[in-house]
Amino acid sequence: MSDSQRINPPHYLVWHNAVSPESLEVRQWSDDQVRSWFNAVGKSRTYNGYTHSGHTFNGKETFVAVPFALWPNGDGDSFEEDTWRMIQMVDDPKGYVCWHAGNWPINCDSIGVETYGRYDDKDLPDNATWTLACFVRANGNLWAGNSPVIKGHREVSQTCTDCPNRIMNHLNTLRDMIANPTKYQDNYFTYEQKQAMQKDLEYIKAFISGAYDAPDSLARRISDNNAKVIDPKLKLLNARVEAVEAKMAAISGGVGSGSTSDTTAILELQNEVKTIKLDLSKLSGTNAAQSTGIAVGGLLQKIFNFRNNKKP
């Protein structure tokens, strides 16, 4: 059994559940911690009795049984509210024959994806399925025809297994998400989208709060006339930020489920954040066309200087 029998590019994506430990700590494992866990499991189980796997990650030998893992970020209030990510665990997913399917011909012609947790008594959040669909669309060249044939482990295994349990209920959803992404893209946050929006909102809130932190109201100490103009505008911007945060939370805890209750499109929220940044830049006398962050300037620059005991 060797990589010389590999069909490259392969035709199948085989979906597994990892039956991993389940806890907030495990959900928040780093990529390296996830790889380490799969390496230990593979060495003791899949490659038991073998001295070497012949496979590497970052040039170091690894005994993982699948090239990729689908893992939560542990950034939600619960498992169902997490965003998810894909973790590569071998150097050559297309070229290695990984021992995951319980079927040698399928091993030679597939890429396996392991999934955090176990699903004999619960369903996989749709946001996880969306993350995998986005990965497949972005990396179609891993498979023949730029699109894999989707299979659950138990559909191809020659051994007795229930894997991936209730993830089987998501196979058609995954296929549809890959084929028709526009039906879903406004209903789910990716990890990168959520992080970018939260970063912008925190920056905006910090920017606004700088006008009120010093004694006697900073804006008012600089100019009573300016304070009368600036204070209500800052408060309005802050209210808009709070409204965006509330809508983010309303999309199934901040990550989206695709349900009919998800009435606020993510694209609309992203556009509102951009508009808030634009309005704030106008208020502070900065260049609204800047592509990275919000440079402080004008009246609010004087406020920050005052706050930091500098001359306005």
pLDDT at 169: 96
Which whole number is the average pLDDT over 229-236? 66
266-284 and 298-307 helices cross at what angle (nearest 10)?
A: 80
Q: For 3-183, CATH number?
A: 3.40.80.10
Q: What are phi and psi of 34, to 5 degrees?
A: -65, -45
- pLDDT tens digit sequence for 260-299: 334 345 677 777 877 877 777 666 554 433 433 333 344 4
Lowest mean pLDDT among 102-111, 216-225, 261-270: 216-225
CA distances from 136 to 38, 111, 294 (A): 21, 11, 34
Residues with Cβ < 8 Å from 266, sequence gap 6 or more? Answer: 185, 186, 187, 188, 189, 193, 251, 256
Residues 167 and 236: their CA atoms lie apart, in Å, by 45
Residues with Cβ < 8 Å from 6, sequence gap 6 or more?
A: 94, 95, 96, 97, 108
Q: How far apart are the first and last CA of the chain?
A: 73
Q: How confident is the model at residue 67 (pLDDT cuts 50, 70, 90)?
A: very high
E-state strands within the chain: 12-15, 56-57, 60-61, 68-72, 84-88, 110-115, 149-152
The domain locations on the chain are 3-183, 191-307
Whether 70 and 86 have beta carbons less than 8 Å apart is answered as: yes
Instruction: Report the pLDDT averaged over residues 97-125.
Output: 95
Q: b/e string for 6-27 if b means 16 or more Cβ within 10 A?
A: beebbbbbbbbbbbbeeeeebb
Under the banding of pLDDT at 50, 70 and 90, the label for residue 256 is very low
**Burial degree of 233 (CB within 10 A; 0-12, 13-18, 19+):** middle
At 192, the pLDDT band (50, 70, 90 cuts) reads confident
Answer yes or no: is pLDDT of 181 > 80: yes
- Mean pLDDT calculated for residue range 204-225: 51
Task: Look at residue 210 in the predicted model and tell me its pLDDT.
Answer: 57
pLDDT of 135 higher than 80: yes
Output the pLDDT for position 281.
Answer: 66
